[in-house]
């Protein structure tokens, strides 16, 4: 069984009632229990390699991270690729709008890590899903309205059981459900009522909540209905974690949200170390 304590011992017993499932590798949604806290690597585990690269997916898999969040945009010739920004300036050795480049042109670029050019190239969604298939779950952060192109890739790679769709635009999620009601989605909510409305509308696998309104009561409401609760440690919490300050992370855990997205997924795994009963 898995329970939570900070490595330095400060957190023992804080959420002792939040006992988690076994540590067997998880490869599909149904492998995860509602009372198990999962860790999601924001843009992949990119501490040592470029974000949204095959390498950062590999790093997450090697380090036992449950979920890899990737950002999806569409090239000029209609190919879904991984990139967070609308421009390639920050993450590659080129400049311009991603949507103005063909896949061949994107592949000729080199990804940057901490401003330095690397050997890594912009991956297609198909390459990413094929690489991580049956090894990790993917959170698809959709940054395009051309959802049909993304759906086609998932159909072709047969990875519908290891992806879920995130979007704050519920109309995009409606399109996914219309074609594949068996696939999983994660709508974003901006308050308590919206989170409950998201559940009633979709009966989703997870709902994305914000720390501003997350609460144990809301988490209980969703968990009781077989729905996971996603929360971000991005920003202040991650900055504190990088400095080995754990107070804000403890407060985040007290919301009972059970998927935590972070830029420090290995550290979060260490802070929520597995212990055998």
Give the torsion through C-alpha atoms of 71, 110, 41, 166, to 10 deg.
Answer: 0
Phi, psi of 229 (to 5 degrees): -125, 115
Residue 107 CA to residue 104 CA, distance in Å, equals 5
Q: Are 181 and 189 in contact (CB under 8 A)?
A: no
Token readout for 274 is: 């597995």
- Give how far Cα 182 sits from Cα of 98, 161, 185, Å: 31, 9, 10
- 46 tagged catalytic: no
- Give how far Cα 205 sits from Cα of 28, 46, 139, 200, 254, Å: 12, 26, 12, 12, 21
- 48 tagged catalytic: no
Catalytic residue among 46, 84, 120, 208: 84
> What is the end-to-end Cα distance of the chain in Å, rounded?
6
Residue 121 CA to residue 51 CA, distance in Å, equals 11
Catalytic residue among 42, 46, 208, 228: 42
Question: Which residues are identified as catalytic?
Answer: 42, 84
């Amino acid at each position: 069984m898995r329970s939570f304590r900070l490595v330095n011992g400060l957190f023992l017993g804080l959420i002792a009632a939040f006992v988690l499932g076994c540590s067997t590798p998880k490869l599909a949604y149904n492998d995860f229990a509602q009372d198990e806290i999962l860790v999601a690597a924001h843009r992949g585990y990119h501490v040592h390699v470029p974000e949204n690269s095959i390498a950062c997916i590999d790093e997450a898999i090697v380090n036992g991270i449950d979920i890899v969040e990737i950002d999806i945009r569409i090239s000029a010739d209609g190919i879904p690729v991984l990139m967070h920004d609308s421009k390639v300036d920050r993450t590659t050795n080129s400049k311009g709008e991603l949507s103005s480049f063909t896949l061949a042109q994107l592949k000729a670029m080199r990804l940057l890590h901490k401003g330095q050019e690397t050997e890594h190239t912009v991956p297609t969604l198909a390459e990413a899903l094929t690489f991580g298939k049956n090894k990790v779950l993917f959170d698809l952060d959709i940054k395009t309205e051309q959802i049909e192109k993304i759906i086609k890739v998932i159909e072709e790679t047969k990875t519908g059981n290891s992806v879920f769709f995130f979007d704050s635009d519920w109309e995009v999620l409606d399109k996914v459900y219309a074609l594949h009601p068996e696939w999983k989605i994660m709508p974003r909510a901006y308050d308590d009522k919206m989170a409950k409305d998201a559940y009633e509308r979709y009966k989703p696998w997870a709902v994305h909540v914000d720390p501003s309104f997350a609460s144990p009561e809301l988490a209980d409401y969703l968990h009781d209905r077989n729905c996971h609760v996603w929360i971000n440690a991005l920003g202040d919490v991650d900055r504190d974690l990088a400095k080995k300050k754990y107070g804000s992370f403890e407060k985040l855990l007290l919301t009972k949200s059970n998927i935590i997205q972070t830029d420090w997924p290995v550290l979060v795994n260490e802070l929520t170390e597995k212990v055998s009963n």
